[in-house]
Amino acid sequence: MVKENKTMKKILITAGENQFSKKQIKSLESLIIQNYKTYISHEKVCVIWSRVQMDDVFRNYKKGQPSILVIECHEQLGQDQRVDMFKICTHDWLRITGQSIDQLVISVLETPVFSTLFQRNSKCLSVIGKSKYHLKLVLGLAWSRVSKGYYSFSSSI
């Protein structure tokens, strides 16, 4: 494995509000972190859940319950490592959630691409808007960690 810098990588998971139980979320988070350390890197990783209102989730023009995992990795990650991560995460995710494979999207993105995606929301905001957005996001993540035991935020902030 490649030696990494000291910044913590992130995994962003988007799923429907109340789509999974707290037990499922804990199991998924634990396995994804374990798989990350096995197939991508031993560096620290933070899992953040983005909760979407179920009325806003559609697949093939019908309401659905898809899940999206966006995993940050270091630059020049080998294709074999990516494929192994896709396979094991898909297997674990489907086993725990009972979803079908067509309800799951997994992306393993190198840091520059992940950062662009992760920070895209705040680029349209004014300085005051960015401050309010980031404050609400940080407070929401902290409150979620304390009250639920995992980091999550509502996509409608």
- Average confidence (pLDDT) over 28-57: 87
Q: Assign residue 134 the CATH number of its domain.
A: 3.30.429.10
In a domain, 71, yes or no: yes
In a domain, 147, yes or no: yes
Segment 82-110, tens digit of pLDDT: 999 999 999 999 999 999 998 898 989 89
In a domain, 104, yes or no: yes
Supply the DSSP string of the chain, one letter for each residue: -----SSPEEEEEEEETTSS-HHHHHHHHHHHHHHHHHHT-SS-EEEEEEEE-GGG-EETTEE---EEEEEEE-TT--HHHHHHHHHHHHHHHHHHH---GGGEEEEEEEHHHHHHHHHGGGGGS-HHHHHHHHHHHHHHHHHHHHHHSSEEEETT-
List of residues 6+ apart from 151 with CB closer than 8 A:
46, 47, 48, 49, 141, 144, 145
Split into its structural domains, the chain has a count of 1
In a domain, 20, yes or no: yes
In a domain, 90, yes or no: yes
For the chain, give the mean pLDDT: 80
In a domain, 3, yes or no: no
Show the domain range for 79.
Answer: 9-154
pTM of structure: 0.74
In a domain, 4, yes or no: no
- Average confidence (pLDDT) over 145-149: 73
**CA 111 to each of CA 28, 75, 86, 114, 116: distance values in angstroms, whole numbers, following the listed order:** 22, 6, 17, 5, 8
In a domain, 68, yes or no: yes
